[in-house]
Amino acid sequence: MSSISKNNNNSSVIMEGKNLNKWYKGIHALKNVSFELGEKEVVGLVGDNGAGKSTLIKILSGAHRQDEGQIFFQGNEVSLSSPRDSMNLGIETIYQYTALVPQMSIARNIFIGREPVLFRLGPIAYIDYKKMGIEALEALRNVGFELRSPDTPIDELSGGERQGVTIARAMYFKTKVMILDEPTNHLSIKETNKVLGWVEDLKHQGITAIFITHNLHHVYPIADKLIVLSRGEKIADIKKEDTSIEELTNLIV
Amino acid sequence: MSGEYTNSLKANRYIQKGLFDRFRASPAGNVILVFLLVLLTCSIVSLIYPDNFRFLSKPNLIILQRAIPTLGIMSIGVGILMITGEFDLSVGAVFGLSAYIMAMVYSAGMPILVGVIAALLVGIIFGLINGWITTSFGIPSFITTLGTLFIIRSGGRLVSDNVPIIFQVPDWFKTLMTGRMLGYIQMQFVWFIIIAIIAWIILNRHTIGNHFISVGGNQMSSTQVGINVKKTKILAFVLCSICAVIAGIMSVIRVGVVNTDAKPLMELECVAACVMGGVALTGGRGSIVGVAVGAIMFHLVKDIIILGKLPAYYLELFIGLVIVFGVTLNQIAKKKY
Ligand SMILES: Nc1ncnc2c1ncn2[C@@H]1O[C@H](COP(=O)(O)OP(=O)(O)OP(=O)(O)O)[C@@H](O)[C@H]1O
Ligand SMILES: [Mg+2]
């Protein structure tokens, strides 16, 4: 984790939310939340339990739909009604426990739903298995997994390594915005640092990252900007340089 | 590039664990090992005592090749469905009904291929029904297909009125499906191998196979990467029914008599073959080779019991033991290696 790049200040906006509202059976889970995400920015999304963080990212990832409000991607208003819609735009979401299929190999996991195909004949789509292996190896190299065979099943990997695979997948598919929901939960210090390193690398690959966590100490060092939610409302949206861990902690509690 | 990939794989396996351990930890590892041992033992004993243990005799080899494919083809369908995370207990009923439908259409004066298509349609419809009910209402497929098992069975009785149909299919069709090649090879077995190869390709080299495994392994993450879980599961149900239909047709044309009463417990024999072959009851794990070998093992043991003039209940005892110990063994192998 090297120094934080300073030239993000005037980066252009890649994604924008305007007056987003979401109700769950009477609970107002998201109240008029607006935000902007810059290109190549790491955004920390923090807040107490039930603040609405997961709700917000579910809307951005197409898993849920907002009840009110608009979403803009690269300047155009978009309608995200399924995960596929978001993925097609280049928005990739990583949920800690559900992102990968444990029984399948790393290579197969990277390419689920987007398998490289050797030939296609009507309903027949023959997987280019060899290419899948080679490309998976390449993707893994991006996150420094030199020693892992793409044939290794996911359930033989540690929690941090699994995050690595999902990050490798996002990098490989030229994701533009990557959403990570508590990627450092239940990880050892060493693994946490590794994951933080990868997230920081995303920026250098031109990817915007939204990093959701309870732990300010994890996100603060690598974030360019922090958004704080509290009971469904956005109560802060602040550049890292203009705040401190202490100030943010006081806001959240 | 590709050499690098293979090298890295080799290096990795070498570093992490021996090839043999890897093999044993694979879904079908144990059953293949046991199968080879049993096969070898039987062959040796049969060579030493050709008169007392006629395992390698031509009639015995023919009997085996006729018996294995019915269970084998059905189990392949059931296995694919189990890998996708669902069960089908109605395969035995579909097996019986579809063969009857084929015979009925054919006996009514239609060409045999029309009968086959009618049988396939019946299977596809029940596959769609099973899949649609299961996925639309979130009912465990164990329950859905338990229901359709009884419905199809009684529907079959209604259609047949318990009167068997006696029929003779055209020679070309009979030869194609149940003839013999080179004196020793039964066509049923050839079809079984062909279907196993197709199933292997579907599961391992077709995108849909990748989706079967991923839906069975983790439905949530499959949804997140944009896979249509409902469609994928329904397709697996349909493939499963199609396999049952093929097995049903194959099993009646040689004898030329069909009733809708399928052999009871067939559906459970399929599950047993799959479990022996290392298919996980929870989905997401299993191999076609394992399922095929599981089905072969089933009949191999049956054959040994008959040849050895042992009481028939030994078969059930063996199957029971294999299920309990086999699954335990697989579990241990998975943890250990
Ligand atoms: N599917 C749902 N149905 C009903 N209420 C929901 C649902 N999902 C979330 N909620 C409610 O919406 C509010 C916001 O929840 P959300 O999961 O977005 O919080 P969060 O910030 O992610 O919390 P945590 O840090 O605990 O993950 C909570 O009050 C929660 O109970
Ligand atoms: Mg949450």
**pLDDT tens digits, one per residue of B214-242:** 999 888 888 888 889 999 999 999 999 99
Rounded Cα distance between A98 and A115, Å, is 19
CA of B246 to the centre of ligand 1 (A): 50
Three-class DSSP category at A187: coil
CB neighbours (10 Å) of residue A157?
18
Pairwise CB contact (< 8 Å): B285 & A125: no
Nearest CA in chain A to B280: A103
A2 falls in which pLDDT band (50, 70, 90)?
A: very low
Tell me which H or E stretch contains A127: strand A124-127
Ligand 1 pocket, A1 CB below 6 A? no
Residue A167 near residue A138 (C-beta atoms within 8 A)? no
| Domain-wise residue ranges, chain A | 9-101+174-252
Sheet holding A68-73, edge to edge: A27-38, A13-24, A68-73, A76-78
Write the pLDDT tens digit of every residue in A34-50. 999 998 899 999 988 88
Residue B12 has pLDDT above 50, yes or no: no
Sheet holding A208-213, edge to edge: A91-95, A177-181, A208-213, A42-47, A225-230, A233-239
Residue A112 near chain B (CB below 8 Å) = yes
Tokens for B20, please give them.
Answer: 């043999």
Judged by average pLDDT, the poorest of A92-96, A116-120, A191-195 is A92-96
Residue B126 has pLDDT above 70, yes or no: yes
Pairwise CB contact (< 8 Å): B218 & A149: no
The values of phi and psi at residue B298, to 5°, are: -55, -50
Ligand 1 pocket, A53 CB below 6 A? yes
Residue A105 near residue A53 (C-beta atoms within 8 A)? no
Rounded Cα distance between A195 and A162, Å, is 10
* pLDDT value of position A146: 64
What amino acid is encoded at B181 in this protein?
M
Say what the alpha-carbon torsion angle B233, B234, B240, B242 is, to the nearest 10 degrees: -150
* pLDDT value of position B13: 42
Helix axes B229-253, B171-178, angle to 10 degrees: 110
A252/B296: higher pLDDT: B296
Domain A9-101+174-252 grouped into CATH 3.40.50.300: yes
Spatial neighbors of A89 by CB under 8 A, at least 6 apart, are A73, A78, A80, A176
Residues in chain B: 337
Ligand 1 pocket, A49 CB below 6 A? yes
What is the arithmetic mean of pLDDT over A138-151? 77
Residue A129 near chain B (CB below 8 Å) = yes
What is the arithmetic mean of pLDDT over B167-190? 90
Pairwise CB contact (< 8 Å): A113 & B9: no
Closest residue CA from atom 24 of ligand 1:
A49
Pairwise CB contact (< 8 Å): A113 & B226: yes
Tokens for A190, please give them.
Answer: 């060493």
Three-class DSSP category at A202: helix
Residue A5 has pLDDT above 60, yes or no: no
DSSP structure class, residue B230: H
* pLDDT value of position B79: 96
Rounded Cα distance between B213 and B82, Å, is 9
Pairwise CB contact (< 8 Å): B222 & A101: yes
Residue A8 has pLDDT above 60, yes or no: no
Rounded Cα distance between B260 and B94, Å, is 9
Tokens for B166, please give them.
Answer: 């006696």
A6/B131: higher pLDDT: B131
DSSP structure class, residue A154: G
* Nearest atom (ligand 1) to Cα of A55: 18
Residue B102 has pLDDT above 90, yes or no: yes
Write the pLDDT tens digit of every residue in B26-80. 667 777 888 898 889 888 888 888 777 888 888 888 999 999 999 999 999 999 9
Write the pLDDT tens digit of every residue in B239-284. 999 999 999 999 998 888 888 776 778 899 899 899 888 888 888 8
* pLDDT value of position A217: 87
Residue A63 has pLDDT above 90, yes or no: no
- Partner residues linked to A212 by β-bridges: A45, A181
What is the arithmetic mean of pLDDT over B9-34? 62
- Partner residues linked to A238 by β-bridges: A226
* pLDDT value of position B335: 57
- Strand pairing of B165-166 and A208-213? unpaired
pTM, entire model: 0.81
Ligand 1 pocket, A44 CB below 6 A? no
What is the arithmetic mean of pLDDT over B8-29? 58
When CB atoms are compared, the residue of A102, A111, A137 closest to B8 is A137
Reference A190, options A163, A224, A226, A151; nearest CA is A163
Mutate to test the interface with A, among B2, B5, B10, B285 (most CBs of A within 10 A): B5
* Nearest atom (ligand 1) to Cα of A25: 4
Q: ipTM surpassing 0.90, yes or no?
A: no
CA distances to A48, A154, B55 from A149, rounded to whole Å, are: 39, 11, 43
**Domains recognised in chain B with CATH numbers:** 59-336 (1.10.3470)
Residue whose tokens read 């259409």: B105
Alpha-carbon Rg for chain A, nearest whole angstrom, is 18
Residue A148 has pLDDT above 80, yes or no: no
Tokens for A206, please give them.
Answer: 């031109």
- Partner residues linked to B38 by β-bridges: none
The C-alpha angle with vertex A107 and arms to A102 and A113, in degrees rounded to 5, equals 80
